[in-house]
Amino acid sequence: MFENGRLEAVSARYSWNTPHRFSGAMMLNAPRHSDHHTHPSRSYPSLELLEEEMPMLPYSLPMMAVIALMPPLWRRVMDSRVETWENRA
Pair 13, 88: CB distance under 8 Å: yes
Residue 82's pLDDT is what?
Answer: 93
Q: Mark out the alpha helices in 1-89 (DSSP H runs).
A: 21-26, 33-38, 61-68, 71-87
pLDDT in tens, 14-58: 888 888 777 767 766 567 788 888 888 988 788 888 888 889 999
Winning range, highest mean pLDDT, from 7-11, 45-49, 72-76: 72-76
What pLDDT, on a 0 to 100 scale, did the predictor assign at position 30?
A: 64
Q: In a 3-state reduction of DSSP, which class is residue 19?
A: coil
**pLDDT exceeds 80 at position 72:** yes
